[in-house]
Amino acid sequence: MNVTGGASGTVRIMWEEPASPNGVIMAYNIRVQRVGDKGTKVHQDCITRERFVNMSRNYTFPDGLYPGRYSVQIQSQSLAMDSQYSERVFFTVPDMKQALSPGELLAAILLPILFLIMVLVFGGYYYFYHNRLKGLPTIKSANPEYAQNGKWTG
């Protein structure tokens, strides 16, 4: 059995079917329980063998699990009788509220600062360029080809 705990609390469980079952397998019971917490709810689900095979012989546990350590067990149900639950396999659902890595922290600080610097540089250039042009006198000159008799009357 292979268990993968996702960051969003989803759990993907993959297992091999029994090599020699005591009859035609009809369904599988899946039991997921948090380790170390007494009185916590046991998450159980039952899927048909057909659904298990259609899902590429793996199962994604639908309930989002809280961060922590869990165990999973599988039981097969055949026409003859139910098997014993498998041995526990332990897995961990990671906590999404962990501190940022140094690279993520650096990016979270530097990207807004770089954006602010870019806005200030472009805004300053735009402001300075437009105000500088407004203060300059307009110089009128005539194109000699269009001036009458070479004289400009302005």
Q: Which residue has the tokens 């302005």?
A: 154
Question: Is the same domain home to 13 and 81?
Answer: yes
With vertex at residue 12, the alpha carbon angle to CA 9 and CA 16, rounded to the nearest 5 degrees, is 155
Establish if 57 belongs to a structural domain.
yes
Compute the average pLDDT of residues 5-29: 80
- Domain span including residue 49: 2-93
List, in sequence order, the alpha helices (H) in 93-146. 102-135
**Selected residue with higher pLDDT from 41 and 112:** 112
Q: Is the pTM for the entire model greater than 0.85?
A: no
Q: What is the CATH number of the domain that holds 11?
A: 2.60.40.10
Establish if 78 belongs to a structural domain.
yes
For residue 142, what are the contacts with CB-CB under 8 A and spacing of at least 6?
A: 152, 154
Establish if 16 belongs to a structural domain.
yes
How many domains are there within the chain? 2
Give per-residue pLDDT as tens, 43-63: 888 899 898 888 888 888 766
pLDDT of residue 97: 66
12 is written with which tokens?
């993907």
Establish if 140 belongs to a structural domain.
no
Greatest alpha-carbon pair distance for the chain in Å reads: 117
